[in-house]
């Protein structure tokens, strides 16, 4: 049977690598088996369009990496990672040619929001002040440890509602409502759903507290740094080593699976209690994404000057427009005017040949929906940046099916390991105090189908590995 290990990890995404590093740092022997030829899962980069143009195939903004207690504790810079910050984290233009802009400074942000500036400061000021207490609690296992009850209660009162009720309760004008809607729509859920305000508050606060940087040279550098740390600790990684059944693995005391809930049912359903397997199979996935990467001849010609300062631009106009666009994919429709999440890199010139640029954008589409909506995405960019289409030298397009071919965890194009409905934020993948541990001794789930969910933070893997260490690898 060959070698045996303390732990085998299936999947080398950020969470699988975080789990493996956590175990290796505790002195345990670890093997990671990755299906793809390259490591990183949804944290990889490639020359998708033309030679010399580096694109992040999936994740690009490393706001959660900065907030993550696990990643903050790793010597990532020593292993090649450099984070580069745009002047502003995100911007949201309206048709009047002006944009609300989220700068690191809450005051500077408020200046872009007219009469709602004071309300933005009142909403985000206390959260930014408490961020160092909030981030570890919100990224840990649920329910959060009550170490800072006042900070958590203040957050909870604002977070346990819909993005619409929060925006309408706090703001009067479209610029502030739109700026909040754009960041809350990272939830990939209708903005009227309870809990969508939490996405806007967490990501909005991270924009002020730490910023929204990207990795110099591409997100792959973050995955490569994690691999380098793991190897320095003696951990082993095998690529092009897809696992179809947990029985194929070499002997180990624990197995940690960086796959989503339904994939776990396929890998281990024959050994898990039928009731648990059924719950994994009924775990719900959300809309897919349709993604476009561009090689550009020049920076995007935004009408609103503030958009030139930001890394991320949320396109779609008013709160009501975004709300309608985000409801469509849940009801099986492709939005005519989608909410578009765009990232540009004029502040990070290493991604393109001298004088040239890259940009990345996606919109949400029905689960598994493969209609080509590239034109709808480009029309939304053109709406706020006339002349944009003339700057395109080349493009790469990925539909939900292509996303899933690139990474088996992107079921139907769902990028967060399962839908972010309130019930699945609390019960991820099933309701219980220890969602990482399955009923089968030694088998753990460590992907974004566990708390705290999607994003490059590694906390699902780190949390799962800590529990495995405590329970079975003492």
Ligand X SMILES: Cc1cc2nc3c(=O)[nH]c(=O)nc-3n(C[C@H](O)[C@H](O)[C@H](O)COP(=O)(O)OP(=O)(O)OC[C@H]3O[C@@H](n4cnc5c(N)ncnc54)[C@H](O)[C@@H]3O)c2cc1C
**Cβ 360 vs Cβ 291: under 8 Å:** yes
Q: Which helix (H) or strand (E) holds 30?
A: strand 30-33
For residues 202 and 183, give the distance between their C-alpha atoms in angstroms, rounded to a whole number: 9
Which one of the spans 88-96, 127-135, 145-153, 405-413 is the region binding ligand X (CB under 6 A)?
A: 405-413
Closest distance of CB 320 from ligand X, Å: 25
For residues 450 and 437, give the distance between their C-alpha atoms in angstroms, rounded to a whole number: 10
Interface with ligand X, residue 14, by CB under 6 A: yes
Of 196, 409, 424, 463, which one interacts with ligand X (CB under 6 A)?
Answer: 409
Q: Which helix (H) or strand (E) holds 15?
A: helix 14-25
Of 210, 417, 442, 451, which one interacts with ligand X (CB under 6 A)?
Answer: 417
427, with CB counted inside 10 A (0-12, 13-18, 19+), is: middle
**Cβ 146 vs Cβ 133: under 8 Å:** no
Of 7, 8, 13, 86, which one interacts with ligand X (CB under 6 A)?
Answer: 13
Interface with ligand X, residue 291, by CB under 6 A: yes
Site string for ligand X, 55-94 (x = CB under 6 A): ---xxxx--x------------------------------
Closest distance of CB 354 from ligand X, Å: 26
Beta-sheet strands, E only, within 386-439? 392-398
Site string for ligand X, 346-365 (x = CB under 6 A): ----------------x---
Q: List alpha helices for 160-272, DSSP H.
A: 163-170, 174-184, 196-209, 220-232, 261-268
For residues 294 and 274, give the distance between their C-alpha atoms in angstroms, rounded to a whole number: 46
Interface with ligand X, residue 243, by CB under 6 A: yes
Interface with ligand X, residue 462, by CB under 6 A: no
Interface with ligand X, residue 255, by CB under 6 A: no
Closest distance of CB 111 from ligand X, Å: 26
Interface with ligand X, residue 22, by CB under 6 A: no
- In the complex with ligand X, the residue whose CB is nearer, 174 or 326, is 326
For residues 327 and 330, give the distance between their C-alpha atoms in angstroms, rounded to a whole number: 5
Which residues contact ligand X (rule: CB under 6 A)?
Answer: 10-16, 33-36, 41-43, 58-61, 64, 242-243, 258-259, 263, 289, 291, 362, 407-410, 415-417, 447-448, 454-456, 460
């Amino acid at each position: 049977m060959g070698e045996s290990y303390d732990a085998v990890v299936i999947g080398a995404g950020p969470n699988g690598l975080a789990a493996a590093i956590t175990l290796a740092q505790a002195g345990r022997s670890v093997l990671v088996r990755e299906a793809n030829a390259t490591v990183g899962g949804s944290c990889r980069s490639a020359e998708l369009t033309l030679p010399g143009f580096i694109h992040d195939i999936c994740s690009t903004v490393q706001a959660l990496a900065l907030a993550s207690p696990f990643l903050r504790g790793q010597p990532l810079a020593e292993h090649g990672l450099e984070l580069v910050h745009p002047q502003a984290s995100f911007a949201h233009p309206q048709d009047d040619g002006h944009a609300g802009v989220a700068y690191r400074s809450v005051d500077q942000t408020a200046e872009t929001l007219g009469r709602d500036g004071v309300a933005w400061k009142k909403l985000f000021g206390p959260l930014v002040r408490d961020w160092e207490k909030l981030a570890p609690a919100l990224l840990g296992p649920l329910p959060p440890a009550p170490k800072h009850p006042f900070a958590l209660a203040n957050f909870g009162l604002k977070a346990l509602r819909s993005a619409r009720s929060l925006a309408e309760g706090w703001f009067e004008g479209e610029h502030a409502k739109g700026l909040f809607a754009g960041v809350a729509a990272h939830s990939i859920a209708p903005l009227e759903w309870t809990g969508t305000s939490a996405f806007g508050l967490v990501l909005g606060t991270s924009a002020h507290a730490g910023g929204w940087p990207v990795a110099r040279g591409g997100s792959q550098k973050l995955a490569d740094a994690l691999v380098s740390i793991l190897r320095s600790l003696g951990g082993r990684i095998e690529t092009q080593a897809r696992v179809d059944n947990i029985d194929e693995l070499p002997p180990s005391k624990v197995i940690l699976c960086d796959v989503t809930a339904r994939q776990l049912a396929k890998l281990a359903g024959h050994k898990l209690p039928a009731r648990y397997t059924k719950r994994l199979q009924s775990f719900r996935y959300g809309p897919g994404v349709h993604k476009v990467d561009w090689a550009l001849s020049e920076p995007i010609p935004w009408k609103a000057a503030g958009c030139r300062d930001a890394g991320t631009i949320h396109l779609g106009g008013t709160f009501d427009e975004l709300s309608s666009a985000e409801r469509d994919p849940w009801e099986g429709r492709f939005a005519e005017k989608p909410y578009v999440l765009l990232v540009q890199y004029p502040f990070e010139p290493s991604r393109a040949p001298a004088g040239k640029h890259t940009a990345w954008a996606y919109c949400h589409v029905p689960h598994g929906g493969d209609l080509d909506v590239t034109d709808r995405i480009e029309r939304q960019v053109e709406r706020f940046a006339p002349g944009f289409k003339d700057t395109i030298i080349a493009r790469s397009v990925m539909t939900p099916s292509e996303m899933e071919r690139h990474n088996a965890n992107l079921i139907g194009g769902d990028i967060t390991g399962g839908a972010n409905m309130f019930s699945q934020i609390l019960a991820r993948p099933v309701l219980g105090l220890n969602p990482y541990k399955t009923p089968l001794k030694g088998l753990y789930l460590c992907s974004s189908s566990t708390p705290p969910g999607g994003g490059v933070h590694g906390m699902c893997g780190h949390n799962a590995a800590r529990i495995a260490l405590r329970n079975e690898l003492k």
